[in-house]
Amino acid sequence: MPPLPSDTATVTAAPDNLGAQPPRRPPGPSTRPALIPVGIAALVLLIGGIGAALTTSGSARQSPSHRFPTVRAAGIKAVPGRGALGPIVTAGQPPSDILNVVPLPAGAQVKNGSKVNNTIGLYDHSLSFTIPVSEQKVITFYRAELRALKWQLVSQGPPPHGVVGYQIVGQHPSSDGYEWEVGVTITPTTFGAGTGTAETTPFTLRLFAVTDD
């Protein structure tokens, strides 16, 4: 049998560190003061980023395209007509508050070479469009949208002088002191005829300043 360990074996005790002092920081400048400007710069960037995001969000909410109403009864989305009416804007006419309330049905295209100066009174210009929807949808659209944009509808029905189609006329006051009229003449829908669409409806917008002349 192998001998048992001696009861007198010596056990080396671990040193007692309970009373030891914490290690001292190596000599040299501290890095803490240098971190303060870095933290301030990061905070400034964060605040600036939040401010820019809020500004962008506010701008989007105030954009005319976001404020422009679409009446559910119209059946077609309304878009601002201001940009498309550029060819007939001249010498600051029509004024901005009138251009801002002229709607177009989404998908309408300007007919090339269709702008007309009727040379009556202060201002009387027209521009023609086409859209691949039925005549009745365009009529319904303008009845609903012009009312929503505070135009007073003063006339609805067949155009004068034997013109085929349907005409809607509305009046709206302007900051320039004049009443303005918009006349929408919608002609019957055509089908096919090499246009590449099942149906196409032409219509003409006429803007007119009502004067005493």
- Residue 108: burial class (beta carbons within 10 Å; 0-12, 13-18, 19+): buried
Which of 22-31, 41-50, 142-151 has the least mean pLDDT? 22-31
Percent of all residues in the chain with a pLDDT value above 70, rounded to a whole number: 66
3-state secondary structure of 139: helix
Strands (DSSP E) along 32-73, which ranges? Answer: none
Mean pLDDT of 23-35: 50
- Residue 195: left (phi > 0), alpha (psi -120 to 50), or beta? alpha
Task: State the pLDDT at residue 24.
Answer: 55
DSSP tag of 116:
E
Q: Which two tokens stand for residue 93?
A: 């006419």
Task: State the pLDDT at residue 40.
Answer: 60
Residues 166-175 have pLDDT tens digits of 999 999 999 9
Parallel, antiparallel, or unpaired: how do β-strands 78-80 and 179-186 relate?
unpaired
Mean pLDDT of 179-193: 92
Number of H helices, E strands in the chain: 4, 9
Residues 72-103 have pLDDT tens digits of 888 899 999 999 999 999 999 999 999 999 99
Average pLDDT for the chain: 78
- Residue 142: burial class (beta carbons within 10 Å; 0-12, 13-18, 19+): buried
Task: State the pLDDT at residue 69.
Answer: 80
- Other beta carbons within 10 angstroms of residue 71's beta carbon come to 18
Task: State the pLDDT at residue 23.
Answer: 52
Residue 194 pLDDT greater than 80, yes or no: no
